[in-house]
Copies of this chain bind each other. A is one copy, B any other.
Amino acid sequence: MTTKISVPRPSEFALIEKLFAPLAAAEPGAYGLKDDAAVLSLEAGHEMVLTVDTIVEGVHFLRDDPADLVAQKALRVNLSDLAAKGVAPRGYLLALSLSPWVNEAWLKAFAGGLRADQEKFGIALLGGDTTATYGALSLTITATGSVPEGAMLRRAGARPGDLAFVTGTIGDAGAGLEILRGGGGMLAPEQREALAQRYRVPQPRTALGARLRGVATATLDVSDGLMADLGHIAELSGVRIVLDATKIPLSSALVAFWGPGDDAVAKAATAGDDYEVAFTAPETAREAVAKIARETLIPIAEVGRVETGMGVVLIGRTGQAIPVARHGFTHF
């Protein structure tokens, strides 16, 4: 209760009642956001999974970004974490720190973005907190879901001899940010838009997660850059991961922008915000992985191999390691 910030927007209670309570209607344990806490029951033999991520104005998004897309980015970076762990999402808690510039129209569009994603992903708002800040707009989402006991996919578990895989295409979000900053003038408008959209709104691979249980030996979502994130798997599994630059999946728009060379691949493999799933699986699971890709309609590329040793290396066309200055991006 130090200081009250006065801005021309509805009171906290009015906002919650009007914009956010409807988002909690489908989950009885959220009590219409009218209690101090939410309660969730679990299927027998299941465990609860929790993850949290914050996105901040000026760091993870821009003030001018459409509010519905900001909402969806905040939500989806969490759903991506759950997807990579083999977890079906159930719901989320939302903590909003609102800057003085945030008005009711922005909040209405923001809630609309949440509503659309709730329908898309089959989840509900469970609870939240709304406060004011003098500083940057900040959104923290805690997402939850459940898995059968012991079934959560882990980062540790890759073994020498395993293959490394990644979904979708890599580097598009990084290229999209360059475009939003004015780059990519040589591209067709639809190419620029496709890349920018990859930056604005992640597409979490929710259909994939549960299918990887019993197949993948280690998984994570690619948010800091493919090499940086596979580096986490390598470190926690005590292995070395050798990537083949010719196998890293690049979109045609990205190749049109950055070119097809090893340097473009290295740039793509160290850019952030892909929100694809990277995983390792035994060579004997290669056909099972291909079947999952066919059935989920999610492209999965085999990009390398797990060896004894440590670290991650990207081998170029000449068979030599491509030097990379840094393996990824940190938002810190």
The chain A residues found within 8 Å of chain B, CB to CB, are 1-5, 11-13, 29, 31, 34-42, 44, 47-62, 81-82, 84-85, 87, 93-99, 126-136, 138, 140, 142, 144, 147, 149, 152, 154-156, 173-174, 177, 220-221, 232, 236, 271-273, 329-332
Contact = CB atoms under 8 A, between A and B. Distances in A.
A81 to B, nearest CB: 4
A331 B1 contact: yes
12 contacts: A3-B58, A34-B232, A35-B220, A37-B51, A37-B152, A39-B49, A39-B50, A40-B47, A54-B95, A130-B332, A135-B135, A136-B136
A58 B95 contact: no
Contacts of A130: 332
Contact of A87 (B37, B131, B271): B37
B95 A95 contact: yes
Q: How many copies does the complex hold?
A: 2
A82 B127 CA distance: 13
A39 B34 contact: no
A54 B97 contact: yes
A208 to B, nearest CB: 14
A257 B149 CA distance: 56
